[in-house]
Structure 1
Amino acid sequence: MSTSDARQRWKEWREERAEVVSTPYGPLALTGTYWLSGLSEGRIPDTPGHWTEAPGGSGVLLTATAGDGLALDGRPFEGGTVLTADAGPGAARVAHGERKLVVIRREGLWAVRVFDPASPGRRAFAGIDAFEYDGSWVLPGVFRPYDRDRTVAVENADGRTRGLGVAGELAFVKGGEEHALRVSAEADGSLWAVFADGTSDVSSYRFRFLKPGAPDAQGRLTVDFNRALLPPCAFADHFICPFPPPGNRLPFDVPAGERNLLTR
């Protein structure tokens, strides 16, 4: 692929990113993450219904009256039901007006996320600032899986420490030296990493994500730092993004990829 073609595809990718994050139920719409263990009497602020853990920890027990104005699966809801984790806002079963109430589960704990299309974050969004495209940051890489999946303890954006599953290392060469990032693997085999570098908290956000896709049968794949992503917590404080695990702070600047959120 020529440099001009690669640059054009990168521009299209940037436009798609801005559209995705600013959708009515995208990351900018998140206004709260409420852990059931921390709720007072099962009440979510400014949200009707009674939210508690179901017996045996099997899900979230929601009880509500007709006057609460909640909808379940698109119909007015009253009574009680047990909810399990939603795949995301688009699959959320419970709504209050235009707001979606999304059930999540992390490390055995249940929480409810509130997505509001009228959030201050959506209203203030003015785009995503990024470094200029630079073909020198498109690098050949190789995935070196561990003999078994591992879990490392990392601090999260909400101040808590949680386990982060890592499947191996993604190695690449820059400036004549090999470097490696610990990477996690999705169910479909695609890899992702959370990393920091010399620009972090200086000319870019404090850390970023990298999603290079899935390796081929020989473990080879392309590492394109021009597509380094802002993590969800850059768009809303209520996400619990993991910080980079040990070894994932690169000892040089990476002036490529997304930098920061732009607001009005």
Structure 2
Amino acid sequence: GELLAGEVLLGEDAGPPEESRVGYGARRLVLLRREGLWAVRVFDADAPARRAFTGIDAFSYDPEWVRKGTFLPYGEGERSVRVGNADGRERGLGLAGELSFTAPDGTGHTLQVSRVEGGALWAVLADATSGRTPDGPSDATGRPSSYRFRFLRTEAPGADGSVRVDLNRITLPPCAFNDNFLCPFPPPGNTLPFDLTAGERRLSGS
């Protein structure tokens, strides 16, 4: 990079942190705009939280959690529902339709999902393991635990709505790593009533 002398007018960064236009030492400064407000997000490879990071705990891969699903788009187009976010505020969450699948025990379930890049489906979900503490009283019986909610992304559905739902690919939301990320909570109906023992669980040691 080049040293800056004077002033320069910059707009919002569009790429990943390593492509940001402003840095200070090893830090990358990302310019962003949220709800009309400008902010700078600092990415520091030597931050204490990053140095303390030891990995992600995940459930063991199980082919039983790879399910056949069906996507049914909403006839009127995308809907928007108000959901809480990790920062305590409510915001709109765009939903494109419903994803139905059958769990390994034979019970049917439906998730409200959004459309993302390439036509893929994305869901914010919780289940019976969500929010249980690994060593606390709520887990005294040895029941599995995971972060309070998680994300699921599938491939784009076929023309007939069929889609492969690999629940082993469930991931933690960004706010599991840092409180400064804005993550939507699951919309109504997206809390599954069973132990979904698949995908990423929580940060190691948390």
Identity percentage over the alignment?
58
Structure-2 residue corresponding to 1:97: 25
Deviation at 1:109, TM superposition (A): 3.4
Residue 136 (structure 2) pairs with residue 207 (structure 1): no
Q: Which AA in structure 2 matches 1:197?
A: D
Q: Tell me whether 173-182 or 245-254 shows the greater mean CA deviation.
A: 173-182
Q: 1:143 aligns with which of 71, 84, 89?
A: 71
Structure-2 residue corresponding to 1:217: 159
Deviations 1:138-194 (A, max 9, x none): 110011111211111111111111111111111101233321111111132111111
TM-score, with normalisation over the residues of structure 1? 0.68
Give the superposed CA RMSD: 1.6
Q: 2:95 aligns with which of 166, 175, 184?
A: 166
Bigger share in helix: 1
Q: Radius of gyration: which is bigger?
A: 1
Distance 1:143 1:109, change over 3 A: farther
Structure-1 residue corresponding to 2:128: 198
Given that 1:86 and 1:93 are in contact with CA atoms closer than 8 Å, whether structure 2 keeps it comes out as no
Residue 175 (structure 2) pairs with residue 233 (structure 1): yes
Bigger share in strand: 1
Q: Secondary structure at the match of 1:188?
A: helix
Higher RCO structure, 1 or 2 (CA under 8 Å, sep 6+): 2
Q: Secondary structure at the match of 2:94?
A: strand
Structure-1 residue corresponding to 2:10: 82
Q: 1:257 aligns with which of 194, 199, 204?
A: 199
User: 2:113 & 2:178 partners in 1: Cα distance?
Assistant: 24
Given that 1:197 and 1:249 are in contact with CA atoms closer than 8 Å, whether structure 2 keeps it comes out as yes
User: 1:208 & 1:149 partners in 2: Cα distance?
Assistant: 22
Residue 85 (structure 2) pairs with residue 156 (structure 1): yes
Q: Secondary structure at the match of 1:82?
A: coil
Deviation at 1:232, TM superposition (A): 0.8
Structure-2 residue corresponding to 1:123: 51
Deviation at 1:263, TM superposition (A): 4.3
Deviation at 1:236, TM superposition (A): 1.2
User: 2:34 & 2:117 partners in 1: Cα distance?
Assistant: 17
Q: Secondary structure at the match of 2:54?
A: strand
Structure-2 residue corresponding to 1:186: 116
Deviations 1:40-96 (A, max 9, x none): xxxxxxxxxxxxxxxxxxxxxxxxxxxxxxxxxx22222131322432213211112
Structure-1 residue corresponding to 2:138: none
User: 2:33 & 2:155 partners in 1: Cα distance?
Assistant: 25
User: 2:156 & 2:40 partners in 1: Cα distance?
Assistant: 31
TM-score, with normalisation over the residues of structure 2? 0.87
| Aligned residues between the structures | 191
Q: Secondary structure at the match of 1:79?
A: coil
User: 1:144 & 1:262 partners in 2: Cα distance?
Assistant: 36
Structure 2 portions without partners, runs of 5+: 133-144
